[in-house]
């Protein structure tokens, strides 16, 4: 019985030990499996590469044999490319600051360009060989699809980088950065050595405009040329020119700012007539000459110095852009604005001033702006000259017609000189003067040539003679419109004396001749005599002594007769004085002489009469008949014919439409002289 139980216990103990041993083994196995998990993950991750590694083993033997040759052919250029690429980035450390060492910087930059050129030339070969390998691997299934696909994408990106706009980025953008720094140095050199030209006053007498020297030192120009050479080699000439034009045109504008050129922006609608901007037109000619002689001349020379190695077309184009941006077009446009303003005789003089300024600068314009690059400036200049010549000629040929049209207007009610007469005589003298005669002649010659007509030598002279003949006819016509014959004589005295005195010794007077002048002087004397006879000369007869010397009717009768005659004299004197107090003689000499003639005709007779017969009426203590003394008469008569303050007017010509822009409607106004 015990034996049986002992055996059972012994079996149980054995089973227990077996179970414990198996448990320990399971536990150890679990630990081993747990430790093996990461290794399995690593193996799983390595399976693709292992698969790729053994892929060629599965490929055909001849395919595996040929792939080696393809790889060897691609390795050589690819290795060369990589070595050059490494060398390029080695140059980056050698690129110094261009400001401190420009020659060294340019030298390294040139080596960088050469390296990139080699890289560009050989990179294509490496890409082609690599592409052949990929194609071979794909065709012969030597590599798996993922590998060949990845290689294709890499080659595609590399090919686009090489052939496209990013070709210069093969070096990682090093060359672009280096060139950007070089452009910055180009700008710095220009800015730091570009100073606005000191402005002297071109209006000062005796100052002759001189051609300014090159405004940049020679060493700076040499540096600019060296930089331009490298920028051109890298297709950056346009950017270089853009920087140059920006800096230099800005400098010219800064130089011109001191001249206060705001008037160049004025439009036709901003002024009524040319007279209102006369000062601006005078400034315009001086400022234009100053700008051309000093500023644009210097820029022209500098463009040639800096860009001469590139070619004429390039530096002329550069200069044209500077001139346009700096303000030459604004100068020309202002002249065009003047030509578009209302027509009047003063405008003719201003147009001649503009023509004279342009003609004076004609050789400079042809030399500076004669190239093909300056076509805009040339067109605007030609258009301006055409408008000036046509406008000036049109006004000149209309002058005679306008003088004749003024004949329809009434003369001054005070008998003074019509402002047309004052204006036209001064005006014709201006046209014959040294400042305008040759210019006007040149303008008319050009205008006639455009019309295929020959210019007659005396055409200008004959036209001015016709104008003066029309003036004579106007005077005769106007004198006949006065109801008062004495006022008509005053009018003729005034005008004939004005023509004689103001034309004697002048260009116009010399043209008309001494006989013409003497004739007007005689006319003045002639009408002066008739004036005195028709007016004041009638008064002494009212103080007749007839019947007083031999009068036998007694003292009372004599007194009545004296009273009657003094009353008639006083009434006639008062009426005539009141009427003629409104008449005017502008010329002091004529006025004084006329007053003296009147005084000589009246005062001595009155004084003698009062000395002899005054006591007859003075004894009564009445001033009814004795209103004046000889002294008071003389003082009153000396006060006759003085001019009154009046507003100034102007003489303007008719527009092509037939309407006047500002006709003379009041001949009594005093005319402004031609300045």
Written as one string, the DSSP assignment of 131-194 is: HHHHHHHHHTT-S-HHHHHHHHHHHHHHHHHHHSGGGGGGGTSHHHHHHHHHHHHHHHHHHHT-
> Which pLDDT belongs to residue 600?
95
pLDDT, greater one: 65 or 430:
430
Q: How far apart are CA 669 and CA 419, in angstroms?
A: 7
Find out whether 445 and 485 touch, Cβ atoms under 8 Å: no
> Which pLDDT belongs to residue 194?
84
pLDDT, greater one: 76 or 486:
486
CB count within 10 Å of CB 378 equals 17
Residue 107 has pLDDT above 50, yes or no: yes
Q: Is 665 exposed, middle or buried (0-12, 13-18, 19+ CB in 10 A)?
A: exposed
> Which pLDDT belongs to residue 653?
44
Closest C-alpha to 280, from 261, 254, 306, 296: 261
Lowest pLDDT segment from 37-46, 63-72, 122-131, 411-420: 63-72
Closest C-alpha to 318, from 239, 381, 213: 239
> Which pLDDT belongs to residue 467?
96
Rounded to whole angstroms, what are the CA distances from 150 to 37, 421, 484? 31, 100, 118
Find out whether 178 and 109 touch, Cβ atoms under 8 Å: yes
Full-model pTM:
0.73
Find out whether 671 and 275 touch, Cβ atoms under 8 Å: no
Rounded to whole angstroms, what are the CA distances from 254 to 106, 116, 248, 260, 327? 33, 42, 10, 11, 11
Q: What percent of the chain has pLDDT over 70?
A: 71
> Which pLDDT belongs to residue 648?
44
Q: How far apart are CA 347 and CA 337, in angstroms?
A: 12
pLDDT, greater one: 82 or 357:
357
Torsion (CA) 379, 381, 383, 388 in degrees, nearest 10: -170
3-state secondary structure of 641: coil
> Which pLDDT belongs to residue 62?
54
> Which pLDDT belongs to residue 55?
54
Lowest pLDDT segment from 218-222, 456-460, 464-468, 615-619: 615-619
Closest C-alpha to 537, from 602, 603, 629, 632: 602
Rounded to whole angstroms, what are the CA distances from 48 to 141, 251, 633, 639? 16, 69, 139, 129
> Which pLDDT belongs to residue 215?
72
> Which pLDDT belongs to residue 82?
55
pLDDT, greater one: 484 or 554:
484
Residue 337 has pLDDT above 50, yes or no: yes
Given 3-state DSSP classes, what are the helix, strand and coil percentages for the chain, each rounded to the nearest 5? Answer: 75, 0, 25
pLDDT, greater one: 101 or 511:
511
Angle subtended at Cα 380 by Cα 377 and Cα 384, rounded to the nearest 5 degrees: 135
> Which pLDDT belongs to residue 274?
78
Close Cβ partners of 383 (under 8 Å, ≥ 6 residues apart): 336
> Which pLDDT belongs to residue 178?
83
Rounded to whole angstroms, what are the CA distances from 8 to 2, 17, 85? 10, 14, 87
Residue 644 pLDDT grade (very low, low, confident, very high; cuts 50, 70, 90): confident
Closest C-alpha to 231, from 119, 105, 320: 105
Q: What is the mean pLDDT of residues 391-418?
A: 95
pLDDT, greater one: 86 or 182:
182
Q: What is the mean pLDDT of residues 484-494?
A: 96
Residue 101 pLDDT grade (very low, low, confident, very high; cuts 50, 70, 90): confident
> Which pLDDT belongs to residue 208?
43
Q: Is 437 exposed, middle or buried (0-12, 13-18, 19+ CB in 10 A)?
A: middle
> Which pLDDT belongs to residue 201?
52
> Which pLDDT belongs to residue 383?
96
Q: H-type helices in 504-629, by residue range?
A: 507-512, 514-534, 555-580, 588-618
Q: For residue range 143-199, what is the model confidence (pLDDT) as tens digits?
A: 566 666 666 666 665 665 555 444 444 454 677 888 898 999 999 999 999 887 766
**Average pLDDT value over all residues in the chain:** 80
Residue 519 pLDDT grade (very low, low, confident, very high; cuts 50, 70, 90): very high
pLDDT, greater one: 179 or 388:
388
Q: How far apart are CA 329 and CA 295, in angstroms?
A: 14
Q: How far apart are CA 402 and CA 382, in angstroms?
A: 30
CA atoms within 13 A on the CB side of 63: 16
pLDDT, greater one: 403 or 78:
403
Lowest pLDDT segment from 227-236, 270-279, 329-338: 270-279
Q: How far apart are CA 334 and CA 322, in angstroms?
A: 19
> Which pLDDT belongs to residue 100?
79
- Give Rg (Cα) of the chain: 54
Residue 396 pLDDT grade (very low, low, confident, very high; cuts 50, 70, 90): very high
- Residue 654, beta-bridge partner list: 660
Close Cβ partners of 581 (under 8 Å, ≥ 6 residues apart): 639, 640
Residue 422 has pLDDT above 60, yes or no: yes
Q: For residue range 344-353, what is the model confidence (pLDDT) as tens digits?
A: 889 999 999 9
Q: Highest-confidence range of 306-310, 578-582, 655-659, by mean pLDDT?
A: 578-582
> Which pLDDT belongs to residue 150?
65
> Which pLDDT belongs to residue 103?
84
Residue 269 pLDDT grade (very low, low, confident, very high; cuts 50, 70, 90): confident
Q: For residue range 275-307, what is the model confidence (pLDDT) as tens digits?
A: 778 889 989 999 999 999 989 999 999 999 999
pLDDT, greater one: 15 or 142:
15
Residue 658 pLDDT grade (very low, low, confident, very high; cuts 50, 70, 90): very low
pLDDT, greater one: 165 or 375:
375
Torsion (CA) 262, 266, 271, 276 in degrees, nearest 10: 40
């Amino acid at each position: 019985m015990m034996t049986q139980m002992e055996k059972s216990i012994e079996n149980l103990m054995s089973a227990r030990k077996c179970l414990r041993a198996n448990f320990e083994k399971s536990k150890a196995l679990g630990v081993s499996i747990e430790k093996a998990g990461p290794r399995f993950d690593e193996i799983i991750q390595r399976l693709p590469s292992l698969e790729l590694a053994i892929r060629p083993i599965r490929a055909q033997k001849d395919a595996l044999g040929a792939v080696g040759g393809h790889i060897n052919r691609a390795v050589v250029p690819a290795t060369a490319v990589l070595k050059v690429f490494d060398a390029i980035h080695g140059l980056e450390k050698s690129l110094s600051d261009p400001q401190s060492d420009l020659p060294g910087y340019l030298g390294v930059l040139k080596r960088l360009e050469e390296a990139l050129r080699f890289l560009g030339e050989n990179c294509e070969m490496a890409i082609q060989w690599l592409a052949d390998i990929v194609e071979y691997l794909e065709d012969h299934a030597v590599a798996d699809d993922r590998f060949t696909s990845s290689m294709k994408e890499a080659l595609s990106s590399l090919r686009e980088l090489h052939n496209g706009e990013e070709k210069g980025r093969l070096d990682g953008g090093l060359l672009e950065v280096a060139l950007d720094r070089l452009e910055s140095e180009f700008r710095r050199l220009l800015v730091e050595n570009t100073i606005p030209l000191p402005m002297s006053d071109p209006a000062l007498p005796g100052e002759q405009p001189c051609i300014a020297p090159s405004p940049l030192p020679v060493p700076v120009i040499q540096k600019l040329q060296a930089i331009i050479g490298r920028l051109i080699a890298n297709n950056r000439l346009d950017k270089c020119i853009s920087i140059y034009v920006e800096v230099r045109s800005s400098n010219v504008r800064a130089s011109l700012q001191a001249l206060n050129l705001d008037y160049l922006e004025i439009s036709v609608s901003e002024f009524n007539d040319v007279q209102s901007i006369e000062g601006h037109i005078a400034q315009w000619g001086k400022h234009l000459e100053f700008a051309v002689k000093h500023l644009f001349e210097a820029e022209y020379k500098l463009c040639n110095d800096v860009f001469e190695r590139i070619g004429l077309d390039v530096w002329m184009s550069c200069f044209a852009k500077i001139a346009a941006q700096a303000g030459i077009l604004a100068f020309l446009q202002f002249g065009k604005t003047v030509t578009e303003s209302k027509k009047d005789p003063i405008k003719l003089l201003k147009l001649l001033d503009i023509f004279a300024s342009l003609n004076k600068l004609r050789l400079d314009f042809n030399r500076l702006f004669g190239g093909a690059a300056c076509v805009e400036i040339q067109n605007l200049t030609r258009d301006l000259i055409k408008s000036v010549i046509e406008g000036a000629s049109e006004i000149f040929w209309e002058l005679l017609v306008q003088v004749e049209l003024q004949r329809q207007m009434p003369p001054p009610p005070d008998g003074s000189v019509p402002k047309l007469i004052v204006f036209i005589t001064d005006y014709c003298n201006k046209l014959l003067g040294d400042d305008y005669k040759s210019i006007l002649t040149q303008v008319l010659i050009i205008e006639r040539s455009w019309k295929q007509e020959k210019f007659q030598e005396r055409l200008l002279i004959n036209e001015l003679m016709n104008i003066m003949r029309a003036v004579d006819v106007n005077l005769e016509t106007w004198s006949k419109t006065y109801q008062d014959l004495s006022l008509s004589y005053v009018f003729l005295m005034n005008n004939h004396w004005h023509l004689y005195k103001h034309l004697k010794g002048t260009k116009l007077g010399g043209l008309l001749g001494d006989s013409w002048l003497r004739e007007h002087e005689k006319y003045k004397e002639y009408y002066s005599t008739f004036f005195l006879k028709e007016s004041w000369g009638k008064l002494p007869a009212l103080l007749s002594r007839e019947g007083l010397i031999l009068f036998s009717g007694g003292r009372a009768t004599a007194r009545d007769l004296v009273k009657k005659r003094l009353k008639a004299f006083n009434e006639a004197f008062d009426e005539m004085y009141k009427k003629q107090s409104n008449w005017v003689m502008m010329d002091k000499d004529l006025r004084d002489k006329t007053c003296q003639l009147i005084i000589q005709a009246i005062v001595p007779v009155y004084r003698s009469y009062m000395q002899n017969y005054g006591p007859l009426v003075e004894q009564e203590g009445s001033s009814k008949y004795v209103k004046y003394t000889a002294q008071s008469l003389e003082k009153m008569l000396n006060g006759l014919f003085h001019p009154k303050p009046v507003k100034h007017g102007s003489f303007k010509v008719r527009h092509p439409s037939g309407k006047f822009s500002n006709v003379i409607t009041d001949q009594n106004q005093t005319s402004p002289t031609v300045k």
